[in-house]
């Protein structure tokens, strides 16, 4: 049951305390793949895919939702327990060992092209879960955790995430201006280029602005993005130098897989949700109802409670073990793995999720974050009689489209304060 944490007059126990090290299974994927391929079948070089698409969803279904949460009085002591911190610290050495071992296998193991592709998928899942580990570590204020975050991003070459997620996404979340917040009616395939390019440009722009305000150029050594990219270049160069250029295409493939899986998860987390403006015109604060919540135990152990995304956005620095289920947040019907599979098939995704978004807004689809090209159609389909005077005011229906500069000044101020801390 785990070590008791005092909550008011009674102890509270984390029932998942000794399950959290299972989050290391994904970064150790190449080792499991090698064992299973040698002793069972070469098809299991793709161990990572079977883990996230078969094993974890089955655990979610069999166990059912786990809505247990630490009480208010236990959160501080739970967050201070260093056992949980070491579970994230261990991620990086395991991830790097798996990355190097995977490259060794690509260079030395007798595999078919399909089997090499399977191993690249396994390494790509490790890279994607590595971005998630960087997400957990990068929100913390200690220098060691921020350094671990940059290291965890290196195999996916996704260093800009360190900046963009913390000072871009968390400020603009659930607004038309956020490239990581999917809009109602926007398919995953349309979202991908907007998220990949928009997130990259936003992160670089934010970091350049911070350095400029400090009197530095973009190429200054204190550039957080350049630091992470440098780690990526050194890591890839060392591995290619050790095992030969023949591993380079597979390393590139696993990095791309990591990026695409991460952005597919971003697509799910805020689909269609919109922060409304206050009567004075200011953007409303981020609340739990601006993120989809998930209480599926297998997925949450693998992803360090990432599916409790509503509490994460409400309390950005709260550690994973202390994140709580939010009843007021919209609830996902399945874990992230099954939701990603559903998102790949656009008609299926819309049948499953669009009515949930509309229901979340009590039938008024004009309160959702709408894809501009689909806005009029969605309003006509779901809420034709909501505004009886025939007028609808929505950023997606503006002649110039949604305000892509929304809250950018606030984001840059957040960046400055984060840097000074």
pLDDT digits (tens, 9 = 90+) for 366-407: 999 999 999 999 998 987 766 545 445 555 555 444 554 444
Is pLDDT of 158 > 80? yes
- Average pLDDT score, the chain: 88
Between residues 1 and 56, which one has the greater pLDDT? 56
CA angle 89, 90, 96 (to 5 degrees): 110
Residue 333 falls within a domain, yes or no?
yes
Query: What pLDDT, on the 0 to 100 scale, is given for residue 387?
Result: 55
Query: What pLDDT, on the 0 to 100 scale, is given for residue 405?
Result: 46
* pLDDT band per the 50, 70, 90 thresholds, residue 285: confident
Residue 265 falls within a domain, yes or no?
yes
Residue 367 falls within a domain, yes or no?
no
Q: Lowest-confidence range among 93-107, 236-250, 280-294?
A: 280-294
Query: What pLDDT, on the 0 to 100 scale, is given for residue 370?
Result: 95
How many independent structural domains does the chain possess?
A: 1
In b/e form, how buried is each residue of 293-318, taking b as 16+ CB within 10 angstroms?
A: bbbbbbbbbbbbbbbbbbbbbbeeeb
Question: Dihedral sign, CA of 185, 189, 191, 193?
Answer: negative
Residue 253 falls within a domain, yes or no?
yes
Residue 191 falls within a domain, yes or no?
yes
Between residues 248 and 317, which one has the greater pLDDT? 248
> 178: domain range?
16-353+397-420
* pLDDT band per the 50, 70, 90 thresholds, residue 419: very low
Residue 141 falls within a domain, yes or no?
yes
Is pLDDT of 89 > 50? yes
Q: What is the pLDDT of residues 182-193, one digit of tens each?
A: 999 999 999 999
* pLDDT band per the 50, 70, 90 thresholds, residue 102: very high
Q: What is the pLDDT of residues 341-372, one digit of tens each?
A: 999 999 999 999 999 999 999 999 999 999 99
Is pLDDT of 68 > 90? no
Residue 334, φ and ψ in degrees, nearest 5: -155, 170
* pLDDT band per the 50, 70, 90 thresholds, residue 412: very low
Tokens at residue 151, please?
């290291």
Rounded percentage of the chain residues whose pLDDT exceeds 90: 71
Q: Lowest-confidence range among 20-29, 52-61, 62-71?
A: 62-71
The model's pTM: 0.88
Q: How far is C-alpha 4 from the geometric centre of its chain's CA atoms? A: 30
Residue 131, φ and ψ in degrees, nearest 5: -65, -40
Query: What pLDDT, on the 0 to 100 scale, is given for residue 154?
Result: 95
Secondary structure (H, E, C), the chain? CCCEEEECCEEEECCCCCCHHHHHCCCCHHHHHHHHHHHCCHHHHHHHHHHHHHHHHHHHHHHCCCCCCCCHHHHHHHHHCHHHHHHHHCHHHHHHHHHHHHHHHHHHCCCCHHHHHHHHHHHHHHHHHHHHHHHHHHCCCCHHHHHHHHHHHHHHCCCCHHHHHHHHHHHHCCCCCCCCCCCECCCHHHHHHHHHHHHHHHHHHHHHHHHHHCCCCCCCCCCHHHHHHHHHHHHHHHHHHHHCHHHHHHHHHHHHHHHHHHHHHHHHHCCCCCCCECCCCCECCCCHHHCCECCCHHHHHHCCCCCCHHHHHHCCCCCHHHCCCCCCCCECCCCHHHHHHHHHCHHHHHHHHHHHHHHHCCCCHHHCCECHHHHHHHHHHHCCCCCCCCCCCCHHHCCCCCCCCCCHHHHHHHHHHHHHC
Please classify residue 33 by burial: count the beta carbons closer than 10 Å to its beta carbon, then call 0-12 exposed, 13-18 middle and 19+ buried.
buried
Residue 376 falls within a domain, yes or no?
no
């Amino acid at each position: 049951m785990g070590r008791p944490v005092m909550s008011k007059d009674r102890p509270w126990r984390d029932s998942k305390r000794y399950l959290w090290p299972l989050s290391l299974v994904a970064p150790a994927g190449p080792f499991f793949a090698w064992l299973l391929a040698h002793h069972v079948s070469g098809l299991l070089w793709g161990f990572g895919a079977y883990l996230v698409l078969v094993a974890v969803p089955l655990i979610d279904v069999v166990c059912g939702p786990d809505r247990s949460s630490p009480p208010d009085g236990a959160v501080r002591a739970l967050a201070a327990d260093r056992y949980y911190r070491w579970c994230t610290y261990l991620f990086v050495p395991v991830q790097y060992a798996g990355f190097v071992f995977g490259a060794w296998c690509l260079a030395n193991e007798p595999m078919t092209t399909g089997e090499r592709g399977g191993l690249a998928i396994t390494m790509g899942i490790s890279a994607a879960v590595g971005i998630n580990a960087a997400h957990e570590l990068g929100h913390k204020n200690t220098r060691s955790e921020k350094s671990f975050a940059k290291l965890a991003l290196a195999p996916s070459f996704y260093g800009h995430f360190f900046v963009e997620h913390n000072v871009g996404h968390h400020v603009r979340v659930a607004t038309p201006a956020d490239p990581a917040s999917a809009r109602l009616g926007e398919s995953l395939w349309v979202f991908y280029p907007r998220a990949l390019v928009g997130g990259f440009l936003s992160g670089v722009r934010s970091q350049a602005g911070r350095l400029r305000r400090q009197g530095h150029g973009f190429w200054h050594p204190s550039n957080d993005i350049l630091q992470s990219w440098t780690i990526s270049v050194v890591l890839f160069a060392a591995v290619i130098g050790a095992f030969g250029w023949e591993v380079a295409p597979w390393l590139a493939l696993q990095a791309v897989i990591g990026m695409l899986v991460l952005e597919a998860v971003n697509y799910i987390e805020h689909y269609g949700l919109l922060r409304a403006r206050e009567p004075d015109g200011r953007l409303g604060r981020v609340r739990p109802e601006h993120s989809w919540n998930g209480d599926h135990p297998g997925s949450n152990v693998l992803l360090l409670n990432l599916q409790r995304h509503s509490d994460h956005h409400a309390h950005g620095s709260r550690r994973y073990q202390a994140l709580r289920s939010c009843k007021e947040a919209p609830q996902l019907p399945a874990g992230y793995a099954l939701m990603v599979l559903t998102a790949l098939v656009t008609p299926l995704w819309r049948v499953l999720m669009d009515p949930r978004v509309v229901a979340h807004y009590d039938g008024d689809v004009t309160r959702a974050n709408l894809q501009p090209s689909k806005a009029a159609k969605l309003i006509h389909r779901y809420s034709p009689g909501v505004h009886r005077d025939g007028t609808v005011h929505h950023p997606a229906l503006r002649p110039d489209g949604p305000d892509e500069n929304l809250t950018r000044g606030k984001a840059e101020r957040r960046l400055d304060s984060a840097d000074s801390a």
